[in-house]
Amino acid sequence: MRIAVPVSAPSKEALMDEKFGRAQWFLIYDSKSGRYEVVENPGFEASSGAGSAAVQTLRDRSVDVLLAGNIGPKAKDLLAMAGIKAYEDYSGRGEEVIRQFLSAQGGQ
Amino acid sequence: MAVRIAVAGGKGGTGKTTLAVGLARAFLSTGEKVSLLDLDVEEPNSHLFLSDLREVNRRQVISSLPAVITEHCVACGRCKEFCHFNAIVVFDKATVLEEFCHRCGGCVLVCPERAIVEKEVVIGEVIKAVGRGLELVSGWLEVGQANPGPVIREVKAEQVAGDWVVLDCPPGSGCAFVESVEGADLLLGVVEDTPFGAHDFRKVVQVARNAGMRIFAVINRYGMGNGDGVKVCEEEEIEILAKVPFSEAAHRALAQGGDPYSVSPDLKGILDWIRDALLERLER
Ligand code: SF4
Ligand code: SF4
């Protein structure tokens, strides 16, 4: 499983970015390899369609799950279209958020 | 040259249509030729006050949108990389996100598989009606269409005969509003005397100022707010032509489709006053 969190700096200790579509980076955790990587969101300064660029990036990186603070209605539709499960109301540091999610899932 | 007066309210429900229709009738009563353009294409309602007009013309507004032929798409992503508006996503196949698409046609050209074609869709209608010496052109945006711009442009492109052209503009101060007021000689703001009304009117003023328009204001439902609308006009140095008090009787008559110019002598008097003030300011 690959899990993404929008973050406000390119590091796994960085705080989550509230605005999913406008976050500059995504922290991605691969539960199989146990590795973290950071990718840039090309939509972060887009004047139009930031959400679609963000969802495209996640999909291109084969992300399965997105953990975020809040996600707009259009972005939600796109995430569903892309087959990415999205969960809202998370906050904290990137790595913590991912751990929280995993432990709630039964410690995968 | 015809004088184009944009009637705008900022926030919705300020009585903008009442004023636009009433003012058109006030000009008409002096023997002037008047055309009224309803540019609030998402919710055109000028016609509700002018139910005895006769429809003389109706035409569709067509716009073309890119459409993906999925069987031909090989998901190469060129269209998505080209699109400056992030209006295309490619998951298994390309999908055009209509609400972001600016109809530049670029994706059609760059697709190596010719998997994107222009598809024509009816996005609205322009209806012209005449009667009582008045000419009304209304734009209607189809339900579900997100972009009112092309319909507004089509209404404005209609040949009209009036010496006075009154534009009933959409609420807000966004793209649709900007498109509507473009080319107007002056803006008549219908302002509610409330914090909301004042806030939205200020944005309308910014747009009109940048476009070099003269601006006048009418305070509507005067006495029912906190004075913020009047304050904004003072701060922005905008002349208030009239302060219209709320009248329960007129309100009820208008709600039943009464003509603003005939529902009450008070309202008629105010509309004549505004008309004369405009004539004087424009030295006509
Ligand atoms: S450019 Fe053509 S083939 Fe490539 S993804 Fe877009 S629609 Fe599909
Ligand atoms: S027509 Fe232009 S804006 Fe619309 S999807 Fe194609 S490239 Fe993007």
Residue B17 belongs to a domain with what CATH number? 3.40.50.300
Of B86, B88, B89, the CB nearest to A50: B86
- Whether B127 maps to a domain, the answer reads no
Average pLDDT on B29-57 reads 92
- Closest-CA residue to B97 (of A26, A39, A53): A53
Smallest CA separation from ligand 2 atom 6, residue: B107
Average pLDDT on B235-242 reads 95
Residue A48: list chain B partners with CB under 8 A: 84-87, 100, 102
pLDDT tens-digit readout, B55-98: 999 999 998 889 999 999 999 999 999 999 999 999 999 999 98
Given a cut of 80, whether residue A9 has pLDDT beyond it is yes
Q: Do B91 and A59 touch (CB under 8 A)?
A: yes
- Closest-CA residue of B relative to A42 is B86
How many Cα atoms are found within 13 Å in the side-chain-facing hemisphere of B215?
25
Of A49, A56, A82, the CB nearest to B100: A49
- The answer to whether residues B257 and B199 belong to one domain is yes
User: Contact, A19 vs A10, CB < 8 A?
Assistant: no
**Amino acid residing at A14:** A
Residue-by-residue DSSP string for B157-186: HS----SEEEEEPPSSSSHHHHHHHTT-SE
User: Contact, B152 vs B141, CB < 8 A?
Assistant: no
- Whether B175 maps to a domain, the answer reads yes
Q: Which pLDDT score is estimated for B103?
A: 86
- Whether B57 maps to a domain, the answer reads no
pLDDT tens-digit readout, B90-129: 999 999 998 888 888 999 999 999 999 999 989 999 999 9
Note whether ipTM > 0.95 here.
Answer: no
B97 in contact with chain A, both atoms CB, cutoff 8 A: yes
- Closest-CA residue to A32 (of A2, A65, A62): A2
Q: Which pLDDT score is estimated for A5?
A: 97
Overall number of domains in chain A: 1
pLDDT > 90 fraction of chain B, expressed in percent and rounded: 71
Q: Which pLDDT score is estimated for B284?
A: 67
Which residues are bridge partners to A27 per DSSP?
Answer: A5, A38
- Closest-CA residue to B68 (of B38, B40, B98): B98
- Whether B220 maps to a domain, the answer reads yes
Computed on alpha carbons and rounded to an integer, the radius of gyration of chain A in Å comes to: 12
- The answer to whether residues B174 and B245 belong to one domain is yes
Q: Which two tokens stand for residue A106?
A: 């039964």
Report the C-alpha gap between B180 and B193 in whole angstroms. Answer: 24
Which domain, by its residues, includes B114?
Answer: 62-121
> Is the CB–ligand 2 distance for residue B96 below 6 Å?
yes
Q: Give the number of A-B residue pairs with CB atoms closer than 8 Å.
A: 39
Q: Which two tokens stand for residue B262?
A: 């005939």
B1 — pLDDT class (breaks 50, 70, 90) = confident
- Closest-CA residue of B relative to A47 is B85
CATH (domain of A66): 3.30.420.130
Q: Which two tokens stand for residue B40?
A: 């609030």
Report the C-alpha gap between B185 and B203 in whole angstroms. Answer: 18
- The answer to whether residues B216 and B257 belong to one domain is yes
Q: Do A49 and B86 touch (CB under 8 A)?
A: yes
Q: Which residues line ligand 1 (CB under 6 A)?
A: B 68, 73-79, 90, 94, 111, 113, 115-116
A94 — pLDDT class (breaks 50, 70, 90) = very high
Residue B80: list chain A partners with CB under 8 A: 56
Overall number of domains in chain B: 2
Q: Which two tokens stand for residue B152?
A: 């507004």
User: Contact, A91 vs A5, CB < 8 A?
Assistant: no
Q: Give chain A's mean pLDDT.
A: 92
Last residue of a domain, one of B121, B147, B172: B121
Last residue of a domain, one of B79, B94, B121: B121
Q: Do B89 and A74 touch (CB under 8 A)?
A: no
